[in-house]
Amino acid sequence: MSLRAKKLAAWSAAVVALLAVFALYTRPQMMVALGDMIWACFQ
């Protein structure tokens, strides 16, 4: 696999991961659950 193909694969994986994270932010239930989990860490 060439260096260019490796870079393209790495950038593609990063973009897919970012899109998945941003998609989770559109779900209010997920944000409430995430906030509860973070809050529980400090109690």
At 43 the pLDDT is 83
Cα separation of 40 and 42, whole Å? 5
At 31 the pLDDT is 87
Is the pLDDT at 36 greater than 90? The verdict is yes
At 40 the pLDDT is 95
pTM for the structure as a whole:
0.61
Cα separation of 36 and 7, whole Å? 37
pLDDT in tens, 7-34: 999 999 999 999 998 998 888 898 899 8
Domain ranges within the chain, ordered by starting residue: 3-41
Is the pLDDT at 41 greater than 90? The verdict is yes
